[in-house]
Structure 1
């Protein structure tokens, strides 16, 4: 928490408070890179650049704490467990915004494939929701030579996988993006045995709650009725993990202007929404704000000894572009200073 020279939280001037968030967790990936700063721990790697996110925010925090040339308070939020753990949700539950009642919160992620040092942001949905499903079909095992003596879950599972795709093509509004991905089918242990059970797992991703409700309902109906048609038992589980990340219009526009002032309009782009997910969405459900991206380049920055594969997120050949640290830190500093100085046109809550 960094208070400005002219009064921070409850200070003698505007009392404004802004939150800047960086995640810092790694992934269960064994790194292929062999350069000096590669992971020293098998099965653990910063394959999404969260170490770089932390470095950029630390650089900004150091500068802001040293200069304090702003009025208000900057709350630097270093968040664990973005990769599936819902760390943002848990921090909010633990009282993050009750203790630090920011009026706006911003998050930034590096983006491989976008030119290094370029930025992108937009209002509205930018990252999809992430949800998991699990379907367990229970039948009756039998010898493969005598299928009539059993209840085979395999044909039913195959029909379900095909039928789920009709939800996207025939039930969903074509203008509302969604994707259903069956990523696991587990059944059987021997080629001459009809298995007793089969399990289907995967994810569903949408930008709206209405479409997600539709997908869950239709998947449940398809699974239940298909299983019944084959005489099978069916256990259907649908877990809603991360909601969609939806940027607030005023904050997205404010961040865009700071980007333009920093790098010029030609280096600022419209954020093309991704079907990936991000738990910063929980913070944006609680507070106005925006999630933006900074280009990580195409991998040409990597030192000798890098893996031979692409420099993409969640990839064992990935490497954060350290050249972004000064620029990312500068963006955070300028955003905080500008927002605390000018605000966003909204009146502050009573007591803020």
Structure 2
């Protein structure tokens, strides 16, 4: 069994050595080294790239429960000056994945001493959550078929919520989001004779205007749920006063409370962009990046989290609305059909996620472990490896 001091030391070591999405080789090696002492019944490495899965089998047949953690850090320069600050320039754990890994490692130490009574537990460390690609890579890995869960759970620390308090809801927990890139192509000309070219300037401005109005239009159309559109970047031609522009790019983040709402956002954004481009005699194309589907909690998964809070006397709140931020954990609940993600409060005075001065609160490690362990015991029971029972 790992002591809290050992878990904090692990967390701080991970914090000092962050790695970006799909580059988490050393992070995975550190986790693999920790789990060697736990004697899991099965170990899968290189899952979906750099991911790991540790399987703990029960005595009897039963369901498979998956607990997910993330391996990756962010391209953010840390501003903290404490002794465990990031040693990698321009990269740091500003989303708390170092803490999440420590929680699930603590869970591994517990399962080493007390295997599930029935079924099995899979502790999964996925790569590339920050880009939205990691969960897809894991689920699409051929070896994941043998690990396919009946239940899937994850937590995320949440600044602004009281320290150690849980927030959860049934239905959509995290919004769907994706980056949309609109490419407009016309024809350059001399700035003295712009009439000899095809400028995308008007279409670019009109597309930005239409994008900003799109959420309100969807509400007027009676489309269910809330939707957001955030224009993050636009580029028109090159900086050359002698040349009228011939191309333009608009980059925008689309966000919706549901996957269905996201499909509607995309369809309408593409439709009016194509119409405006055609009116100006332009060609148009679309790209998408950072694609996250909505993370949806099943009613049963939600109920298991609530019962865990009640059993462990952990304060909790039931959310009326989904979290606006996105998470690729929805890939796991879509596969498992039952499960949930919940938020674990990092404190009301904590810096926000992705802030350069954020740091994971170590007090959450035992709380997160205890909650996950209770959920596992509800589903899979517990059996001591030292038991003499037949």
What 5-or-longer segments of structure 2 have no aligned partner? 1-38, 42-55, 383-390
Q: Does 1:165 align with 2:234?
A: no
> Do 1:118 and 1:263's aligned partners in 2 also have CA atoms closer than 8 Å?
no
Deviation at 1:217, TM superposition (A): 1.8
- Which residue of 57, 60, 65 maps to 1:18? 65
What 5-or-longer segments of structure 1 have no aligned partner? 301-310, 343-352
Q: 2:292 matched to which residue of 1?
A: 242
Distance in 2 (CA, whole Å) between partners of 1:53 and 1:12 is 28
Q: Secondary structure at the match of 2:381?
A: helix
- Which residue of 174, 188, 205 maps to 2:255? 205
Q: Secondary structure at the match of 2:100?
A: helix
Deviation at 1:178, TM superposition (A): 1.1
Distance in 1 (CA, whole Å) between partners of 2:256 and 2:316 is 26
Deviation at 1:220, TM superposition (A): 1.5
The aligned runs of 1:78-227 (5 Å cut-off) are 78-95=125-142, 97-172=144-219, 173=222, 175-187=224-236, 188-191=238-241, 193-227=243-277
Deviation at 1:210, TM superposition (A): 2.8
Q: Deviations over 1:9-29 (max 9, x none)?
A: 4x5534333111111210111
Distance in 2 (CA, whole Å) between partners of 1:34 and 1:240 is 31
Q: What is the number of equivalent residue pairs in this alignment?
A: 325
Q: Structure 2-normalised TM-score?
A: 0.77
Distance in 2 (CA, whole Å) between partners of 1:96 and 1:19 is 15
Q: Secondary structure at the match of 2:66?
A: strand
> Do 1:2 and 1:73's aligned partners in 2 also have CA atoms closer than 8 Å?
no
Q: Secondary structure at the match of 2:138?
A: helix
Distance in 1 (CA, whole Å) between partners of 2:317 and 2:241 is 54
Distance in 1 (CA, whole Å) between partners of 2:287 and 2:374 is 46
Q: Does 1:284 align with 2:333?
A: yes
> Do 2:59 and 2:119's aligned partners in 1 also have CA atoms closer than 8 Å?
no
Q: Structure 1 residues 175, 103: CA separation in 2 closer, same or farther (over 3 Å shift)?
A: closer
Q: 2:371 matched to which residue of 1?
A: 331
Q: Secondary structure at the match of 1:52?
A: helix
Q: Which of 1 and 2 has higher RCO (CA within 8 Å, sep 6+)?
A: 1
Task: Compute the RMSD of aligned alpha carbons.
Answer: 2.2
Distance in 1 (CA, whole Å) between partners of 2:177 and 2:309 is 29
Deviation at 1:240, TM superposition (A): 7.8
Q: Secondary structure at the match of 2:135?
A: helix
Q: Secondary structure at the match of 1:120?
A: strand
